[in-house]
Amino acid sequence: MGVLDDRVAIVTGSARGIGRATAELLIEHGAKVVINDLDGDVAQQTASEIGGETAVFSGDLTKGDAPDQLVRTAIDSFGRLDIIVNNAGYTLDAPVHKLSDDWWQRMLDIHVTVPFKVIRAAAPHLREPAKKEREEGREVFRKIVNVSSTTGMFGNAGQANYAAGKAGVVGLTKTVAKEWGQFKVNVNAVAFGFVETRLTDAKVDENVMEIDGEQVQLGIPEQLRGMAAMMIPLGRGASPKEAAGGVFFLCSPWSNYVHGQVLNITGGMFGGMVT
């Protein structure tokens, strides 16, 4: 028996990195998971590799009604929805005086607007069952976990757009928590520090992703990578699995009375290093 048996989860951006590690943990403990990624081939490969019961929704969640289609995939595949992890994201770095309108808007779109639209699309499937359960005198907890960053809490040079997006998702989290607590939907966020993913790998030519046909450079300068060990009391960055552990806690029954909170997963570091 798993603690998440029969639970259905959506994890956005779950073909790689923290998202994949989160999906693996949820499946390990009994959940059925919708895998999502921009790259459909990678999403299908991940679903085949991690085992368990999965469905796949590929596509850009910032486009059209993709968030609604994502939620519909969960309902059509498994008949219900219990857990949402809004994890998808990336960075576009530039100092404020060189930051374009497009790069500013892209970060707000993926880090704030997409979580909002996914949550809104999921509302009937999270709120309506709770009304019936309340009439029956039962408490059934459902979970939303939004992914923020220490950059959203403390800022980080060259990342005004990313910081604004990650700060915005904290405000979204706390507001939905106030609105949906009566329906026993736990709404929380995690703020990651330095996690070993594509976003914190070295900024080299081959560390890129493609969005709308454009190559987007990922990674951070090697000098900043070298500083991480000195800034983190535990002496190193987190693995994706370690980062996913905090998300799993907020998806589990052990977090039923944790609500409207931001869990810092930083190894003790407090400052603006980026996930």
Phi, psi of 158 (to 5 degrees): 85, 5
At 84, which helix (H) or strand (E)? strand 83-86
Residue with tokens 């039923």: 256
Structure tokens at 203: 């900024």
- Distance separating alpha carbons of residues 186 and 256, to the nearest angstrom: 7
Which positions ≥6 away from 35 have C-beta within 8 Å? 11, 14, 15, 23, 43, 46, 47, 54, 55, 56, 57
Distance of CA 273 to the CA centre of its chain: 17
Question: Is residue 9 within 8 Å of 25, Cβ to Cβ?
Answer: no
- Of the candidates 162, 183, 192, 194, the residue annotated as catalytic is 162
CB atoms within 10 A of CB 135: 8
- Distance separating alpha carbons of residues 82 and 175, to the nearest angstrom: 19
For the question of residue 162 being annotated catalytic, the response is yes
DSSP letter string, 178-231 = HHHGGGTEEEEEEEE-SB-STTTSB--TT-EEEETTEEEE--B-HHHHHHHHHH
Catalytic residues: 162
